Structure 1
Amino acid sequence: MLDVSGLTVHYGKHRALDAVALALRPAELVVMLGANGAGKSTLLRALGGMLKPAPGARATLDGHDLLALPPHRLVEAGVALVPEGRGLFPDLSVQDNLRLGALPPRARAGERRNFERLLSLFPRLAERLKQAVGTMSGGEQQMVALGRALMSDPRVLLLDEPTLGLSPLMAQELFAAVRQVKTLGVGILLAEQNAHASLAIADRGYVLATGRIVGAGTAQDLREDRAVQRAYLGGD
């Protein structure tokens, strides 16, 4: 289990996260809802080792301290971040970008299995393994980014706005794949502005506002919450 408590992050004097606490179990999909600037990306970047939290923060995976680890050691511990913007190598082929995900020692024994598994999740990538990633559509690049993360054989997958800028059809296809990833036993923490679609596939959710968690519950509870409806689901 991923267990987070007291997670505070500052940008200079600005407090972007304020004592955030959350939990994520294996094979569970948890969505973080919130407006732009609420702290969703900051949360994922802190858990992914890209930002240093303030003293007193705690984040453990099955009891092992994550915050003391550099990003490459986090990947070896089983944490994979798919950042907003994807972070791909556009001049490399699809296959080469995917293979980079298997560099951590934990992933090498299962590289072939994971490669075949992700191609079953994203059949169109199987047809474009030799294509340069920079020539692909945004949705296809997002598939590569997610596939590269899966090649690291993660236990926890951190997804930051994966459908940003995608067509509704491509977003639907990507969410269907994310739902399948959960069945592999991977815990998924998803930061997403598309509240309708993300709550449709999530087990639970948290609501972030100005760096604080102001709501939490099952996906069904959040869908039925009037405040959540008004803020994120277009309710009256």
Structure 2
Amino acid sequence: MLEIANLSLLYGRHRALENISVGISEGETVVILGANGAGKSSLLKAIAGLVTPEAGSRVMLDGKSLIGLPAHDIPETGIALVPEGRGVFGDLTVEENLMLGANPRRARATEADRHALIYDLFPRLAERKRQMVRTMSGGEQQMVAIGRALMSNPKYLMLDEPSLGLAPIVVTELFAALKRVQQTGVALLLVEQNVSISLSISDRGYLMEAGRIVGADTAEALKTDTAVQQAFLGGSTA
């Protein structure tokens, strides 16, 4: 289990996170919902070791603390992050980006199988594996980013706003691929503002506001909770 407890984070004098406690079990899909500025991305960055939380914060994976581990060591624990903005290497090819994801030691034994899985999930990448990523569309670049993260053989895949800036038809395709990733046993932790589609593939959800967790429930319950939609997403379920 990936367990976050009493997690607090400061950016200078700005308190981005305050006593956050969330958990996700192996094979589960959990979504973090909230408005812009709620602290959702900061939470994923703290788990990934990209920012340093305050003393007393806990990030535990299978009972072992991840606090203090360098960010480049986090993938070795089985956690991978697809950041907001994708973070792909535009001057490298699709294939080269994917191979960078296979760098962790835990990934090497399954590298060939991962390759095959990614090209099966995203046939467009197989067709364009020698193409420079900067010449690709935003949706294709997001596929590269997800594929690169999957190459690390993660147990937990974190995705920060995967649908951001993408056309609806591409979002549908992307989430269909994520449903297939679920079937491989990989747990997903999503930060996403497209409420309806993220809840459609999730088991549970947490609600964030101003750096705090202010609610939690099953995905089914959140889908039909009018008060939640009004409070966190302007009354929209899309």
TM-score (norm 1): 0.97
SS of residue in 2 equivalent to 1:141: helix
Question: Partner of 1:51: helix, strand, or coil?
Answer: coil
1:12 aligned onto 2:4: no
CA distance in 2, matches of 1:89, 1:169: 25
1:72, distance to aligned residue in structure 2 (A):
1.3
Letter in 1 for 2:197: A
Which residue number corresponds to residue 175 of structure 1?
Answer: 175
**Equivalent residue number for residue 207 of structure 2:** 207
CA–CA distance in 1 between the matches of 2:50 and 2:4?
Answer: 16
Matches within 5 A, 1:1-236: 1-230=1-230, 231-232=232-233, 233-234=235-236
The alignment's C-alpha RMSD in Å is 1.0
Secondary structure, aligned partner of 2:120: helix
| TM, length-normalised to structure 2 | 0.97
CA distance in 1, matches of 2:100, 2:114: 13
Look up the SS of the partner of 2:55 in the other structure. coil
Whole-angstrom distance in 2 between the partners of 1:63 and 1:83: 25
Aligned-partner SS, 1:10: strand
State the shift of 1:89 in Å. 0.8
Identity of aligned residues (%): 55
Query: How far is 1:73 from its partner?
Result: 1.0
Do the aligned residues in 1 keep the contact of 2:52 with 2:68 (CA within 8 Å)? no
Secondary structure of 2:176's aligned partner: helix
Alpha-carbon shift at residue 229 of structure 1 (Å): 2.3
CA offsets, 1:183-216, max 9 Å, x none? 1111111000111110111110000000000110
Deviation digits for residues 78-124 of structure 1, max 9, x if unmatched?
A: 11011001111101100000010001111011100000011111111
Gapped regions of structure 1 (runs ≥ 5)? none
- Counterpart Cα distance in 1 of 2:119 and 2:27: 20
Deviation at 1:68, TM superposition (A): 2.3
Give 1:146 shift.
Answer: 0.2
Count of residues in correspondence between the two structures: 235
Further displaced range: 225-234 or 61-70: 225-234
* 1:27, distance to aligned residue in structure 2 (A): 1.1
Displaced runs of 4+ in structure 1, greater than 4 A? none
Amino acid at match of 2:43: L
